[in-house]
Amino acid sequence: MKLLVALLAAAGLLGGLTATLFGNHPYTVTAYFLSAEGLTQENDVVVNGSRVGRVTSVGIAADNGPSVGGAQVVMEIDSGSAPLHRGTRATIRTKGLLGNPFVELTAGPPSAQTIPSGGTLPLQDTASPVDLDQVMDLFDPQTRARIQTLTREGGAALAGRGADLNVFLAALPGIMQDTSVVTGKIAQQDQQLSALDVEFDRIAQMMATEDQAFRRDIANGASLLDVTAAHEAQLQAELVYADRALGELAAGLKGHEGDLNKMLKQLPAVLDELQKLSDHSATSLAIIDPCMADIVQTLAEMRSATSYRDGNGNLLRVHPYVFTGSEPVNPTRIACSGGGG
């Protein structure tokens, strides 16, 4: 009896506390979504399949708010399910293919901070559905036509096989029971799967908004394949030639591997000698270079002189004399006209 009285007192205290916290005002939470297409006022808010509230308004988020260009959804939560806690996730889903959308809440941990009435669920804690038309728009008209044909053919394949389908549906509960262990493991990873679901929704939304760029990339890929196909014969000929050349090279080196190895070992010393020769030649050329014009002129004069013969067939002799005024001079060294003395 005392226990019953204590429980009644605790219930009264809890009711009084709830009345103090919320009074007669409804508990509301504002959630921000990338998109809330199809969601309207009075749509259900659900937790674990049970209705716990309703949507009171759907609008465009303010430019200075936490979701620029997104949707702002205000939800009223029943007192029995309020308040929500931080970590709660909100996902917009549809009842079947043609059903009305609703907001599904995944409750946050009870130990987390309480969300006050009028509080918000930020964009990272929400997920928006991807419209089927947006997915179909990713494909070109030919692909969309093929998908439609596949759908019609699937319907035709099931025509007249209702009994088989019923047998499968009757066996489906047993199949689901056999997979209960797997689904239990998946349920344990609900938070991680919800995060993946959000990321997939974001990626799909980005793909839908980047439709034109995606189609352009596909077109560029097709052009690249066309160019490759057009040069296929030339590419094949180049590969055949390369194979033949490598085969001939291998045949030519066969039996001379030792010589090749010896040559490669001697190559550094040869390169050193070539470097020394290059350095020596550079020094010699630096000495000769100022006199190149005189050397070329002298050779030209010698060529002209040796091409002349006198009446007896003798060559004209050229004496290396330099005239200074009227007297010939035969200096042992004459400065080049190009400088360098």
pLDDT digits (tens, 9 = 90+) for 82-139: 999 999 999 999 886 667 899 999 999 999 999 999 999 999 999 987 666 656 666 7
54 and 44 in contact (C-beta within 8 Å)? yes
The CA-atom distances, in angstroms, between 98 and each of 57, 64, 148 are 22, 34, 18
DSSP state of 23: T
Q: Is pLDDT at 188 greater than 90 in this prediction?
A: no
Which residues partner with 73 through β-bridges? 31, 58
Mean pLDDT of all residues in 198-227: 79
DSSP state of 95: S
* 327 CA to centre of own chain: 90
* 40 CA to centre of own chain: 37
Residues 317 and 294: their CA atoms lie apart, in Å, by: 19
The CA-atom distances, in angstroms, between 296 and each of 31, 236, 317, 320, 337 are 94, 54, 19, 15, 12
- pLDDT-above-70 percentage for the chain: 72
CA angle 323/324/325 to nearest 5° reads 105
pLDDT score, position 15: 46
Element (H, E) at 74: strand 71-77
Residues with Cβ within 8 Å of 323's Cβ and at least 6 positions away in sequence, in order, are: 329
pLDDT score, position 260: 82
More reliable by pLDDT, 312 or 104: 104
φ, ψ of residue 310 in degrees (nearest 5): -85, -170
111 and 55 in contact (C-beta within 8 Å)? no
Look up residue 18 and give its two tokens: 């709830």
DSSP 220-251: HHHHHHHHHHHTHHHHHHHHHHHHHHHHHHHH
137 and 211 in contact (C-beta within 8 Å)? yes
Q: Is pLDDT at 248 greater than 80 in this prediction?
A: yes
Residues 13 and 5: their CA atoms lie apart, in Å, by: 12
pLDDT score, position 341: 47
Lowest mean pLDDT among 44-48, 120-124, 285-289: 285-289
